[in-house]
Amino acid sequence: MIEVSTERTLPQKPLLITTLPGPRAKELVERDRTVTSPSYTRDYPLVVSRGEGCMLEDVDGNVFLDLTAGIAVTATGHAHPQVVRAIQEQSANLLHMSGTDFYYPQMVELAEKLSDRAPFPQAADGKRARVFFSNSGAESNEGAIKLARYYTKRSGIVAFLGAFHGRTYGAMSLTASKRVQRERFAPLLPGVTHIPYGTHASLDYLEEKLFTTMLPPEEIAAIIVEPIQGEGGYIVPEDGFLARIRNLCDRYGILMIVDEVQSGMGRTGKLFAIAKVANSG
């Protein structure tokens, strides 16, 4: 058994010992500018050395409270002892895997746990939710686009203004949060229509105007939605908004894709933010 210390060594509140950015951080930022792609759009010259829980230390010894949760994905905090222990134990046993070619016990076990917790009603025939593992949110959404078009034999997709679904071509075609993310990359994936997010008025417009004039619902493969918009401004939709999308999809044979890269894995108090809506129908 690999032992992992649970002792906290960083202060549990912010601590500044240099001006910001510090001298070491300034040096590394300048070095970075000469060798790293400018497509990495950093928001602030924070050069991170290590993290513990919700605290981060930079290369000059300044300590910060991490309000971004590692860019909205580290629900367990930085360097959680159980996570560190699991990584160390696995790395000592096997590092490389290829789930597309071979079978691994851990992969089966994780898929079973996710299937058991998936926010879908239990199938009458006993079939379980099935899991597709991917490397990122963008890759997940690319897979979702392919699945929706393959399964429904339709091409249209409805997304929302303010959405962020990734920066690869298909995912970027769904994204509509910042102009710079799409600028000079056209043409993007055809067949994507964006509407305002979070209000019943928006869904009225989709159903009463777009579906009756230029967007036949029988040609829509999927509606993709964030239960709570992230980059769009941390917007919580109106009550009943998500349930109404579910009902629209059921009525017209459209798949509902729920992007929970930022709202899932417990960050709203539930494993999946959509769980309550999905289980109530």
For residue 169, give the CATH number of its domain.
3.40.640.10
Judge whether 187 lies within some domain.
yes
The DSSP-derived string for 116-178 is HH-SSPPPTT-PPP-----SSHHHHHHHHHHHHHHHH---EEEEETT----SSHHHHHH--S-
Residues 53 and 126 in one domain: no
Residues 102 and 160 in one domain: no
Among 32, 62, 91, give the residue marking a domain's end: 91
With a cut of 90, say whether residue 52 has pLDDT above it. Answer: yes
Judge whether 2 lies within some domain.
no
Q: What is the model's pLDDT at position 280? A: 47
Judge whether 253 lies within some domain.
yes
Residues 116 and 215 in one domain: no
Q: Each residue of 233-268: pLDDT tens digit?
A: 989 999 999 999 999 999 999 999 999 998 888 888
With a cut of 70, say whether residue 1 has pLDDT above it. Answer: no
Q: What is the model's pLDDT at position 163? A: 97
Judge whether 233 lies within some domain.
yes
Residues 83 and 184 in one domain: no
How many Cβ atoms are within 10 Å of 31's Cβ, its own excluded? 10
Judge whether 16 lies within some domain.
no
Judge whether 259 lies within some domain.
yes
For residue 115, give its domain range.
98-130
* pTM score above 0.75: yes
CA 242 to chain centre: 17
Report the number of distinct structural domains present in the chain.
Answer: 3
Q: Each residue of 210-240: pLDDT tens digit?
A: 999 999 999 999 999 999 998 889 899 999 9
Give the chain's mean pLDDT: 92
- Using only the alpha carbons of the chain, give its radius of gyration: 22
Comparison of pLDDT for 70 and 54, the residue scoring more: 54
Q: What is the model's pLDDT at position 278? A: 55
State phi, psi for 35 to the nearest 5 degrees: -130, -10
Comparison of pLDDT for 67 and 146, the residue scoring more: 146
Judge whether 15 lies within some domain.
no
What the block records as the tokens of 158 is 């409805």
Q: What is the model's pLDDT at position 266? A: 85
Q: What is the model's pLDDT at position 124? A: 72
Give residue 68's pLDDT band: very low, low, confident or very high (50, 70, 90).
confident
Q: Each residue of 83-138: pLDDT tens digit?
A: 999 999 999 999 998 999 999 999 999 999 999 999 887 777 888 899 999 999 99
Q: Each residue of 14-39: pLDDT tens digit?
A: 999 999 999 999 999 999 999 999 98
- Which CATH number belongs to the domain containing residue 52 in this structure? 3.90.1150.10
Residues 104 and 87 in one domain: no
Q: What is the model's pLDDT at position 114? A: 93
Residues 160 and 32 in one domain: no
d(CA 174, CA 160): 8
What the block records as the tokens of 143 is 């897979």
Give residue 281's pLDDT band: very low, low, confident or very high (50, 70, 90).
very low
Residue for token digits 């000592």? 92
